[in-house]
Amino acid sequence: MAAGPLPWLISHGSAALLFAALVAGGLGVPIPEDLVLLSLGILAHREVLPIALALAVGLVGVLCGDTALFLTAKRLGPRLYAHPRLAKVLTPERRERLARLYARHGGRCVFFGRFLSVLRGTVFIMAAVQGMRLRHFLLWDGLALCLSVPVVVGLGYAFSHSVDAVAKGAAHAEHLLLLAAVLAAAVYGGVRWLRGRRQR
């Protein structure tokens, strides 16, 4: 087994530890979310955890981490923009563009942001600062998690015999999930457009 965080999570992992890792990762601790979810799938395949428990820990753990980040950003408000890391990413011009996106698309920004690991935290912070209500955030983030968590946990479950291959495949799974989400949104938008045209 190769060295790295994934083998360590598998050998030391428990439901409580992996749940705590997901929450901490949501708050910015450098713990890769996908590796924790893959570990849950691998442990489920090895019958260390029931698959239902592994999925529940993944869903609830990620949602709790996202919610903690959202509430922290909501409490701090625009002061977060002065943080050195965010100031580099969220320039005034980018903030203005993102604000227009949120005004137009609302929760859909959160939905698609969940599939962008590099921008995920920034998208959630912007949603909070822009005044999105918690229940709307939970709705859109929860919908995205219902797609992403079962796929990544399932990837770990199906290919638990090859830890290295699973870790490499996680990035491809994220891209496929984003593509599937975009296609689903396009189909939904097309159906609404056709219905509106027929009504007119």
Q: Taking residues 180-186, what's their average pLDDT?
A: 59
Chain segment 96-120, per-residue pLDDT in tens:
877 787 878 878 889 988 888 777 8
* Spatial distance between the Cα atoms of 64 and 56, rounded to a whole number of angstroms: 12
Collapsing DSSP to helix, strand or coil, 162 comes out as: coil
Every domain of the chain and the residues it spans? 5-199
Radius of gyration of the chain (CA): 18
pLDDT level of residue 163 (50, 70, 90 thresholds): low
CA distances from 142 to 62, 99, 106, 157, 196 (A): 9, 22, 15, 22, 28
pLDDT at 77 over 70: yes
**What's the pTM?**
0.76
Residue from 157, 189, 190 nearest 173 by CA? 157
